[in-house]
Structure 1
Amino acid sequence: MRRSDWNKIKEKLSELHDELEAKDLVEHLYEKDVFSDDDKERILLETTRKDKAKRLLDILRTKELQDGDVYEVFLVQLRRTQPHLADMLKPPGRARRQRAAATESYNIRNLDTDQLCEFLAPLLKKNNIDEDVLKTMKQEKIDGSVFLTMDRSSMKEVFPDLKFGERTKILMERDEFIESGKLQTGLQGDVMSVERRLQEREYARKFDTKTGCTEKYKKGKILENLQTRPGNMIDPTHYCITFDGLDKDSALEAIGWETMKFASACMNDRTNGTVHFGVYDGSDTDHSHGEVLGITLERKDCEDTIVKSIQNCFPSDQQDVASECIHPAKYVDVIDNKEVCGYILEIDVEPQERLVKDQAFFIKDQYMKPRQKGSGQKLFRLKSGAPDDESADGVYQYMSTKSTLDEKRKDAEKIYVAKTAQGMNMLQQLRMFLCDGDTQMGDIYPILVISPLDKSMSSQEIHARFSFIADFEWVCIFDFDPEGHKTGIYEYLTEEQKMAFKLMLTDDFDQRGCEHHEAKSRDDKLNEDMESSHLKPWIFCNGFEPLENQVWEFWNGRKREVKDLKKQ
């Protein structure tokens, strides 16, 4: 259920707990496939009418329907059993009205060339059609309105290099979308689904991993793998937070408090989780859930805020545990038009069983005044992937069941370790295959292959990530970075580590224009030269400007000498 819809229920939660008759309502919701057999059983097993109502609403909050709106179905069924309660709740409202209005104004003719190409890209990939088609569409300025008019003859004229079947598949995909209603040319169609198809997807950083130097999110794109799997303690639950319009101090307060709520909820539920600051939570229709927006706060301020929040929110005897469970902040740059415009702050929470066993984690709001109402300690748990403070009854129930969560976490960690060990067994099998039963391959010739670095990396980052290269005895280095002498690893090793290498170009190994015996003689000489030199060969595969300039100056000098000889 969308958070905005749950908030409508939450406004009247006390009245619903007191008056809702769950027994009849659960049957109707079961018939509409909102509840499963297990859900129905859990609700009806509660002993009092109020507990049945609470359990029904708790489960309803986690539900989604593929073809329909959970909140709307709930209201319809509630009107059948208790119409006065249905009248008390707000209607589905703005999201549906906006969607209807947008539907009336949107059609395929509005797609410009870039949008049309973004829409067609996954369809081409599905049918194994070369994406050069998209380049041609951009060159020919084919937009949505032109695409609608294209037939087989015009397709053949525009895409002569495509096979007949490939051209036909593109037209079939277009017609199928029109006929199925997924993309209508008239006044009907679901604009929200079309817009989401047009938004490129991003994959979120993997849990408990460093941020790679080339790992970036594009602003406005959707993080794909944010699904929450209830009951799975190892695969992380994801919690997205944005704070548009807040000043710096308020934004930092939000980071501190939201991180502590989410972290303590993960620790209490014994489940891994990641909180993403700068990613939209989908609470209304202005943006999509998981949409990358980014933040621009100073990174050190964020880190200091998290450290202080742990000290201020957790009891002193649990601060060390919290610091171990809450991993250091990760920063993923956000780019817009190829320029970095902010970052996503991501914090992983990993409540290992050895750390959290037998403990309940209460926190207090560090920003509340000591005697202010509601400033007492609270116990948070995850509900629909978001932290929610427990009632007194909920706390009492948790205290009696937390040992069960400890056992489940312990079992989940064992299963995860076993799976990891299985992966290691595959590595051992590969070693056996390569080494013929020995523990190593015998003579090892370490070769380093280097690609261009991200130009935004600072010298400190290069040192932190690549200083280990200086510790290896490389037989040979192949460098594909033509500007490595300015900002790459070559510059770092020669300037910072004061290392020296034998510089070579791929042209040195070029045998074109040589007779066989000459080529062989030159190869032997090259090999002897490399083996006898105490300098390791550094081969620039995409050119090396200083060395090329030397060669160019050498040949210019030889040409001048030849001219002088002719004059004599």
Structure 2
Amino acid sequence: MKNQEEELPPDIKDWSKDQVKEWALKLDGVDDHIAEILFQQDINGPSLLLLEIEDFRGMGVTFGPAKLIKHARDEKVKFKKEEPTSSTNQPVCRKPYPFCRYHDTYRYMENSILDITESGASDLIEPCHEYKAFINTTDETKMSKFTAEVIRFAAACMNSRTNGTIHFGIGDTPDFIHGEVLGVAVGDKEAYAKELKSAIDSHFEHKHKQAAQICIKPPRFVEVLKKIMTSTDKCVIEVDIVPDSRSVKKTFTTL
């Protein structure tokens, strides 16, 4: 992110040429002089919505930045269409990432609200959810807190034969709105997967380790976007628990 975010009207069609320039200045991979080209060509919101790659090229914007601008515009339009009708002061509610999926084109918007409340065990099919803001953790304690919370949640799900997802970077009362998307700054994503696998080996009894490795899925990292569709450089970390009846036959205890 190159500049600090300024609030823009939610609809691109309401943007002035100055606001289009400000938006373009915040796009990663787009140089400042490209934003100036848009400004000099009097590109406002309505005209931005009409531009195709050939139009950008005709203004002197090279192919790479043109693709980035068009993609960012299209993503913002898509998110706007998916938003439920709400007042400007009311957070937007969104569905969680599809359960036990990894490759869907799905992102969260910062400060939106997941419309699934935290719940305890219900049945094997409908996932329960648990939210962790995952703030006030140091680099030294972040990984141990992550693995400890996943192991605790996973053991509860497996013992109750209930699907579940634990979310890190989602707020809860009283400090935040319940289900509020906050995001977490993640450095080495592979480290989370490795540490979780190691934690499973060290926390479950030997006879349960294989089943636990099957039931506890690898971490999923869901990108968090700002309202203007640029990255916050944060994500929500999610771990799905799937206690398949073929794997879960006994009560699980952790060491």
Residue 322 of structure 1 pairs with residue 215 of structure 2: no
Greater share of residues in helix? 1
Q: State how 1:20-419 maps to structure 2 within 5 Å.
A: 114=9, 198-212=90-104, 214-226=105-117, 228=119, 231-282=122-173, 284=174, 286-297=175-186, 298-336=188-226, 337-340=228-231, 341-357=233-249, 359-364=250-255
Q: Could you list the runs of 5+ residues in structure 2 that have no partner in the other structure? A: 1-6, 17-85
Q: Cα deviation per residue 1:351-388 (whole Å; 9 max; x = unaligned)?
A: 1112112x111113xxxxxxxxxxxxxxxxxxxxxxxx
Normalising to structure 1: TM-score of the pair?
0.29
Change (3 A) 1:195 1:233: farther
Change (3 A) 1:251 1:196: farther
Normalising to structure 2: TM-score of the pair?
0.63
Q: Cα deviation per residue 1:19-67 (whole Å; 9 max; x = unaligned)?
A: xxxxxxxxxxxxxxxxxxxxxxxxxxxxxxxxxxxxxxxxxxxxxxxxx
- AA aligned opposite 2:152: K
Q: Cα deviation per residue 1:124-148 (whole Å; 9 max; x = unaligned)?
A: xxxxxxxx8x957x88xxxxxxxxx
Q: State how 1:448-487 maps to structure 2 within 5 Å.
A: none
Change (3 A) 1:230 1:355: closer
Three-state SS of the structure 1 residue aligned to 2:102 is coil
Distance 2:108 2:198 in 1: 28
Change (3 A) 1:197 1:267: farther
Distance 1:257 1:113 in 2: 40
Partner of 1:379: none
For the 8 Å contact 1:326–1:348, the answer to whether it is kept is yes
The higher radius of gyration belongs to: 1
- Sequence identity (%): 28
Distance 1:252 1:345 in 2: 12
**What is the CA distance between 1:211 and its match in structure 2?**
3.4
For the 8 Å contact 1:229–1:235, the answer to whether it is kept is no
Change (3 A) 1:195 1:259: farther
**What is the CA distance between 1:338 and its match in structure 2?**
2.6
Distance 1:267 1:350 in 2: 8
Partner of 1:409: none
For the 8 Å contact 2:118–2:130, the answer to whether it is kept is no
Distance 1:196 1:348 in 2: 33
Change (3 A) 1:361 1:196: farther
Distance 2:130 2:234 in 1: 19
**What is the CA distance between 1:280 and its match in structure 2?**
1.0
**What is the CA distance between 1:206 and its match in structure 2?**
1.3
Three-state SS of the structure 2 residue aligned to 1:198 is coil
For the 8 Å contact 2:121–2:160, the answer to whether it is kept is no
Higher relative contact order (CA 8 A, sep 6+): 2
Distance 1:204 1:273 in 2: 12
Q: Cα deviation per residue 1:141-167 (whole Å; 9 max; x = unaligned)?
A: xxxxxxxxxxxxxxxxxxxxxxxxxxx
Q: Cα deviation per residue 1:161-205 (whole Å; 9 max; x = unaligned)?
A: xxxxxxxxxxxxxxxxxxxxxxxxxxxxxxxxx989621122111
For the 8 Å contact 1:255–1:305, the answer to whether it is kept is no
**What is the CA distance between 1:254 and its match in structure 2?**
0.8
**What is the CA distance between 1:295 and its match in structure 2?**
1.1
Distance 1:306 1:240 in 2: 18
Paired positions, count: 177
Distance 1:314 1:271 in 2: 18
What's the Cα RMSD here? Answer: 2.6
Q: Cα deviation per residue 1:299-353 (whole Å; 9 max; x = unaligned)?
A: 1121111011101110111110000001122111111243322111111101111
Distance 2:87 2:113 in 1: 11
Q: Cα deviation per residue 1:193-243 (whole Å; 9 max; x = unaligned)?
A: x9896211221111111232x311111111123453753321100011122
For the 8 Å contact 1:218–1:335, the answer to whether it is kept is yes
For the 8 Å contact 2:165–2:239, the answer to whether it is kept is yes
- AA aligned opposite 2:184: I
Q: Could you list the runs of 5+ residues in structure 1 that have no partner in the other structure? A: 1-111, 119-131, 140-193, 365-568
